Structure 1
Amino acid sequence: MFRFDNPIYLWLLLLIPLSAIIYSYSVRKCKQRMKKFGNTELMRQLSPMISQRRGWVKFALAELVLFLLVLIIARPQVGSKLATNRQREGIETIIALDISNSMLAEDVVPSRLEKSKLLVENLMDKFSEDKIGLIVFAGDAFVQLPITSDYVSAKMFLDNINPSLIGTQGTDIGKALQLSINSFTPKSKVGKAIILITDGEDNEGGAEEMARQAQSKGIKVFVLGVGSKEGATIPMSDGEELKKSSGEIVKTRLNEDMCKQIAAAGHGVYVHVSNSNVADAVLGRELGKLQKGKINNVIYSDFDEQFQALALLVAILLIVDVLVLERKKRW
């Protein structure tokens, strides 16, 4: 299994396009100054040893070195030792987590999204022989973590979840349920459950039909409704609140009726998530009713660092950068 031990440093990769923009701007400004100084063709003839192409080559080398350095400090690792690889008795659970902007509302402390993540983490702490998968969705859905019994990796992926992971806003619960159904271990006869965590707002439709399909395949759908009927405003990253085009503040409310309908269609239960810990107890009790079956648990207990090859490549690129001069060779 491959992983980054410090994945938060991967955000530094944003420096690569930023530096490219700055470098392009500086090259363009330099050309404008040269035009003011004199005729461009004449300047080129007077300085035949200057090579613009070599400047771009050196910049590309610097960008590649920056890319590799970011990967190094993120600590790439590969699992080397198995803690266990034997059959155990457990269930399979896919958690579908809503990460639309409305989940940033703070009618549940500290916010709908953070409360949901805390609830999922508490659920993982109660698992021992089970497998868990993680799907995030808004207007689109994708697998954040394939189904696994490696709870350490699951918590690591959970920590990095935020609304910026999906650019398409909305709440397409139907797509999330469809992806969840396809994410279970094929032909597995263990008890299976989908835990849908959402505020149910701006649903795109088709959720109840997908919940019925899940039920027909022996998969129960539990729905955790996060938020309040009174609603709350949505804080933005800049500290301001999301507003409509008319200038009025947007207020997001829990669509509890729709959540209950989805749970009923999936033969599961609906649980309202508030500032109490009632949801944890109810969900744990319902999951305990599922039939346990034999599953293969594969957990890596030790990981080998993989930065050495990247560090060697960085050293080679730095040497090449030194050897490549910005002026042309005489020959």
Structure 2
Amino acid sequence: MFEFGYIQYLHLLWIIPVLVLLFWIMRRKGRKQLERFASSKMIARMAPMRSRSKPWWKYILLMLALAAIILAIARPRFGTRMKEVQREGKELVVALDVSRSMLATDIQPSRLERAKRAIVKLLDRLDHDRISLIVFAGEAYTQLPLTTDYPAAKMFISSVQTEMIPQQGTAIGAAIGHGINSFSPGEEKNKALIIITDGENHEGNAIENAQMAAEKGIKVYTIGMGLPEGGPIPVRGKNNEFHRDNSGNVVITKLNEGMLQQIAAAGEGSYIRANNIRSGLNSLFDEIDQLEKAQMKSKVYAEYDEQFQFAAWIALFFLVLEFFILERKNKYLANVKIFQK
């Protein structure tokens, strides 16, 4: 496979035909000025060593050298080189609640936005750790498989919205079950499942699934997004309008701390409430840091072999060749006429 690292620099090649045209115009203008003072035969007698072709050859060599330099700057890459790396780290699976209740603004700017910021802060603390993102409402889906590509993870997090899952609800049990299957098989001492939700669980198997995770060596942590007194759920796209029940009353969504505490206890982890004053993330980070790191499986990375050196050597060759070509004729070869008797 072949590619350029900075392909945008190839646009500089358009300079070369412009420079060739300018050189031709200048040579033509200079020749016409000479012809005003003397004929071509007279000029040939006055300057017998003058060459009409060598300046062109010198200039062509300079243009070839410039083209090679531009190619070198564009960083051509050809072929691949494979290498294996080993590293130690933890595996974290974050399950983020994207149900409609996460739009409540009892935590500013909203529960969901505050949760997304918390995940970004977590990413900034990671080093050689793999992270996966699950989104859930009435169902649970993997948004991002286990990866160490933190910029990509941040991009996925920024795109999370409540409309991603049409089936409403808060299936914490399904999220835990899905999270258990998201870890890589093998080592069980370096895995943590972080559930970020307001705790309004609509299924009854969350505690059982948390116990199952603990049996597999996966610690389950819960972060409660919201306040106990709760708040209304804004209607997207409509200012000062809130979701209402069938009787027309404004729906108030409250943080279910009891449920989240039970889940964390069953999963041998801990519960943290995030509110407008503190997020509680530092204590979570400290606990996760205590997890024993394990040797990650060998990963194979493909890297391009840089080939700009060849273009640089070609440019140097053309420059040296141009340096040794004189603009006048060689006095030893000027009278050599191979095809004349």
Q: Distance in 1 between matches of 2:303 and 2:114?
A: 31
Give the corresponding residue for 2:182: 183
Give the corresponding residue for 1:166: 165
Q: Structure 1's 81 and 236: CA in aligned 2 closer, same or farther, altered over 3 A?
A: farther
Q: Structure 1's 238 and 220: CA in aligned 2 closer, same or farther, altered over 3 A?
A: same
Q: Distance in 1 between matches of 2:82 and 2:120?
A: 21
- Choose 278-287 or 289-298, whichever is displaced more: 289-298
Q: Distance in 1 between matches of 2:273 and 2:83?
A: 36
Query: Any conservation in 2 of the 1:150–1:299 contact (CA below 8 Å)?
Result: no
Q: Structure 1's 166 and 302: CA in aligned 2 closer, same or farther, altered over 3 A?
A: farther
Point out where structure 1 has 5 or more consecutive residues left out of the alignment.
Answer: 1-79, 304-331
- Choose 185-194 or 117-126, whichever is displaced more: 185-194
| Matched letter for residue 105 of structure 1 | A
Q: Distance in 2 between matches of 1:125 and 1:104?
A: 25
Give the corresponding residue for 1:107: 106
| Matched letter for residue 210 of structure 2 | A
CA positional deviation for 1:277? 3.7
Give the corresponding residue for 1:249: 250
The aligned runs of 1:81-230 (5 Å cut-off) are 86-230=85-229
TM-score by length of 1: 0.64
Q: Structure 1's 90 and 233: CA in aligned 2 closer, same or farther, altered over 3 A?
A: same
Task: Give a deviation string over 1:147-171, Cα, whole Å, max 9, x none.
Answer: 1111111111101101100000001
CA positional deviation for 1:81? 8.3
Q: What is the total number of aligned residue pairs between the two structures?
A: 224
CA positional deviation for 1:287? 0.1
| Matched letter for residue 227 of structure 1 | G
Q: Distance in 1 between matches of 2:126 and 2:300?
A: 14
Q: Structure 1's 288 and 250: CA in aligned 2 closer, same or farther, altered over 3 A?
A: same
Deviating above 6 A after TM superposition, structure 1's stretches of 4 or more consecutive aligned residues are: 80-84, 299-303
Q: Distance in 2 between matches of 1:83 and 1:126?
A: 29
CA positional deviation for 1:278? 4.3
CA positional deviation for 1:276? 3.1
Q: CA RMSD for the aligned pairs?
A: 2.2
| Matched letter for residue 255 of structure 1 | N
Query: Any conservation in 2 of the 1:87–1:296 contact (CA below 8 Å)?
Result: yes
Query: Any conservation in 1 of the 2:86–2:299 contact (CA below 8 Å)?
Result: no
Q: Secondary structure at the match of 1:94?
A: strand
CA positional deviation for 1:203? 2.5
Give the corresponding residue for 2:317: none
